[in-house]
Amino acid sequence: MSTAPFHPDVAALIAGPHEIGYSATATTTAGATVLAVNGGRVSLSDKRAPRVEATLRCPLPDEATLEALDPRQRPRVALTVSYTLPDGTTDSHVVADLHLRDKRTRRTAGEMVLSLASDEALVIDSAALAGGGGGVTETRSDAAGWLRTVIVEGLWNTDYPAGPEFVIGVPRNLECDWPSDVTDYWDSITDVCDQLDLEVYDEGDRIFRIVKRPQVAAASVLTVKGGPGGILLDDDAGVTREGWANFVVLRYEWTDAAGDRQTEYGTARVTAGPVAVDTVGYKNFAEVRDGPASIIGANRAAATVLARMLSRSRALTLTTVPAWWVKPGRTITYQPRDGAAEQRHIVADVDHDLDGMTMTVTTRLPDLDSTIGE
């Protein structure tokens, strides 16, 4: 069981009485300042970009630091978590290096509230490019290289101080369609990822990952069980119709080089299994996308969106003590209190409550009973 970057002993430590501490380091034009953390929340989710969002309540710093904490100047705040080991030493690691989105000063309360996000938000912020040749769809084979280029260009537009690091976990010969004239960085990235069932995200460490979306549980990073020696505080398993669909249609709209409006549709439906459209009727999801697409690319994107929505219809929510190495895409092991066989789940969401000192994990289960077709 990997607890990286934390010491392996922390996995056993959190099952009993233990101490955990939080601090933050703000880096601004005035330099680096260590901030105490009064409370707040840190959440990670594979359902959104940016993947990491945080709200921290900190004592008011000196006036120079307070003034320099200007979100328009893109200061950064790094959150450090410290576990105290049985021998009295501390195991401390930066768990999130984020940029400031919003600052609220509450002088009566003697604190400030910082809203932070991972760096996908900076790509989303970046100015759209003006396409010079109209909407054109091109088919190329280096999707990973194209995604990397678009991220770098988007961050360059925000005056990013240094080029981001990348982890590319997919072959360089993946072929897909993409617009020759990018008009919105993140929308284009999202569509290419949907065509190939990829994920692009920053895990809060300033490293952009281009990887396949995990569909199969891997090695477990945490065991969650109740009773003596367990860390489970509450559990909730559910099946929902909200956010679920068995039919997806994506409508692509763009203006071609001649100035004419063009439209293409991508569709995907559940053709077999207990929730097939011919069995339970249609639960539709429709979305309009601004940009060119071929029918093949549009259908592939629709199939990926549908698979994602199917997996979100069944979820397990667990409340535990904080285990800061658990992140979306990792696998956890769940041992129900009733003695049933243990289950391995892929993590979708993690929410840390710094006030209550709890962690809430929501998992997703791939739908292996459904068949997707056009």
274 and 320 assigned to the same domain: no
Residue 76 and residue 127 share a domain = no
d(CA 123, CA 156): 9
One domain for residues 15 and 92? yes
Quote the pLDDT of residue 307: 93
Q: Do residues 52 and 99 both lie within one domain?
A: yes
Give residue 337's pLDDT: 76
49 backbone dihedrals φ, ψ, rounded to 5°: -130, 130
Residue 132's pLDDT is 45
219 in the same domain as 78: yes
On whether both 99 and 130 belong to a single domain, the answer is: no
The span from the CA of 374 to the CA of 274, in Å, is: 17
Q: What is the DSSP letter of 277?
A: H
pLDDT at residue number 133: 43
Give the separation between CA 149 and CA 158, rounded to whole angstroms: 15
With respect to residue 198, please indicate whether it lies within any of the assigned structural domains. Answer: yes
Q: How far apart are CA 225 and CA 232, in angstroms?
A: 5
For 293, the 3-state DSSP assignment is coil
Boundary (domain end) residue, out of 212, 230, 260:
212
User: Do 44 and 157 belong to one domain?
Assistant: no
For residue 14, being part of any structural domain is answered with: yes
**What are the Cα distances from residue 102, in Å, to 105, 287, 339?**
10, 30, 46
Instruction: Kindly state the percentage of the chain with pLDDT values over 70.
Output: 96
- 195 sits in the region (left: phi over 0; alpha: psi -120 to 50; else beta) called alpha
Q: What is the pLDDT of residues 258-294, one digit of tens each?
A: 888 899 999 999 999 999 999 999 999 999 998 888 8
Taking only the tens place, the pLDDT of each residue in 287-337 is 999 888 889 999 999 999 999 999 888 889 999 999 999 999 999 999 887
Report pLDDT for 129: 63
Does 190 lie in the same domain as 131?
Answer: yes
Structural domain tally of the chain? Answer: 3
Is 369 part of a structural domain of the chain?
no
Is 55 contained in some domain?
yes
Q: Are residues 59 and 181 in the same domain?
A: no
Query: What's the pLDDT score for residue 172?
Result: 81
Angle between helices 185-196 and 295-311 (to 10 degrees): 80
Q: 47 with 349: CB under 8 angstroms?
A: yes
The CATH number of the domain where 37 resides is what? 2.30.300.10
Task: Mark whether 169 and 283 lie in a shared domain.
Answer: no
pLDDT at position 136 is: 56
pLDDT less than 70: residues of the chain: 1, 127-140, 180
Predicted model pTM: 0.92
Q: Domain check: are 142 and 220 in the same one?
A: no
Q: How far apart are CA 352 and CA 43, in angstroms?
A: 6
Give the residue numbers spanning the domain of 107.
1-116+215-240+315-364
